[in-house]
Structure 1
Amino acid sequence: MENVITAIEAQKRNRQRVNVSLDGEFAFSLDRLTAAWLKPGRKLTAEEINRLQEQDDAESAHTRALHFLSFRSRSVQEMRDYLTRKGCSPELSSAVLVRLEEEGYLNDTRFCREWVENRNAFRPRGVSLIKAELRQKGIANETIESTLAQADLQESELALKAARRVAGRYTALPQETFRLRLGAFLQRRGFSYGVVSSVLNHIWNETQNSTHGQDTL
């Protein structure tokens, strides 16, 4: 059985989509690109209609994925989870993921490297916590280990960087309270006890020297 296209009209609220009428009645909506080859008077079989709707679903999912990527880079697993939440079937999600990888929008190795660089530059934390974050995002252990090896992160330097950013909050506190507060902060950032202990001594001495220097001015 065939149906005749009787109208193709742009939607008022979304000019990138069109409403398609068959035999004088609204039938479905499509992305303008998907509907580009359709003309009033053309006949469509049920199979062609199903194929058009599948293509439209794929384009809509791809558009959603690009919007999701506009905020920051994503891992493959993050994108798969997002598409699932948006109601995409496993088959559709897989097809969109393949397309995004081919287009260069998804790359777990690049994502892993950028995540490590971002953490190092803006939110320093211990290697163990970085690993946990990346595993949570579905990054393979081999990729994580390779990326961290190339980054050659020094935990003591990262801990010092993290501590210096917040130490000013605690400089007026007694030494014991200072160590407890700053130590808890560093442990929450994934640094080991040994690294935290060493950094606390270093930072305490820094703050005291700074305070004494100001007192002599």
Structure 2
Amino acid sequence: MHINDAALRYLSSRSRTVFEMKKQLSQKGFAEEEINSLISEFKDCGYLDDLRYCQEYFHYAFGKGKGKRLVLNELREKGVDQADIDIAFEEYDLEVDEVGRAREEAAKVLRMAGIEDGQPVPEKIIGRIARKLQSKGYSSDTIYSIIGDMRR
């Protein structure tokens, strides 16, 4: 199989980072020189763009209710350069409300527990909310803020 075919097939299902592409092609047995040449060509054509990938990933991940900490860690694991992450987040941050997203996640748990607005929230449910928010990557400050509001 030709390197271009392998790379395009890998990109066909979703966007990829430069790191992911290098790793995939390396595992397929292509030479580093060939891989670097293709990466350069794909960057020039716009097929690979880590900054755009970050922007798309923020919309996807925050739409799924994930917290900032988890999303940033996931991007680092995908090999995205910290500078690209910072630039993309700065642009995205204008429309991001971390506490608002966390409140939405907490409201889902409350609905599933059958607790309506204004009703007291049992400690068991508060614990469930805290664990869910933590698993989604919200900061401790955000979690304590949400829980503090529920206890009042």
The alignment's TM-score, normalised by the length of structure 1, stands at 0.60
Matched, 1:147 2:81: no
Give the C-alpha shift of residue 149 in structure 1. 1.5
Spell out structure 1 runs of 4+ moving beyond 6 A: none
- How many residues are aligned here? 145
1:130 matched to 2:71? yes
Match of 1:97 among 13, 33, 39: 39
Is this contact kept in 2: 1:75–1:111, CA < 8 A?
yes
1:113 aligns with 2:55: yes
The counterpart of 1:170, out of the listed 107, 113, 124, is 113
Distance (Å, rounded) in 1 between the aligned partners of 2:48 and 2:102: 31
Distance 1:159 1:130 in 2: 14
Q: SS of the counterpart of 2:142? A: helix
Alignment correspondent of 2:118: none
CA distance in 1, matches of 2:48, 2:150: 40
Distance 2:89 2:104 in 1: 18
- Tell me by how many angstroms 1:202 deviates: 5.1
Displacement of 1:201 in angstroms is 5.2
Higher relative contact order (CA 8 A, sep 6+): 2
Match of 2:3 in 1: 61
**Which TM-score applies when normalising by structure 2?**
0.83
Q: Pairwise mapping of residues 38-49 of structure 1 onto structure 2 (< 5 A)?
A: none
Select the residue among 122, 125, 129 that pairs with 1:182: 129
Asked whether the equivalents of residues 125 and 162 of structure 1 are also in contact (C-alpha less than 8 Å), the reply is no
1:129, distance to aligned residue in structure 2 (A): 1.4
2:99 to 156, 162, 180: 156
1 CA distance for matches of 2:44 and 2:66? 33
Q: Which runs of 5+ in 1 are unaligned?
A: 1-56, 206-217
- Structure with a larger share of its residues in helix: 2
* CA–CA distance in structure 2, aligned partners of residues 89 and 198 of structure 1: 52
Kept in 2: contact 1:112–1:147 (CA 8 A):
yes
Which residue is 2:23 aligned to? 81
Could you tell me how far 1:80 is from its partner in structure 2?
Answer: 0.7
| Greater C-alpha Rg | 1
**How big is the shift at 1:137?**
1.1
C-alpha RMSD of the superposition: 2.2
Measure, in 1, the Cα distance between the counterparts of 2:15 and 2:110.
31
**Structure 2 spans left out of the alignment, 5+ residues:** 116-120
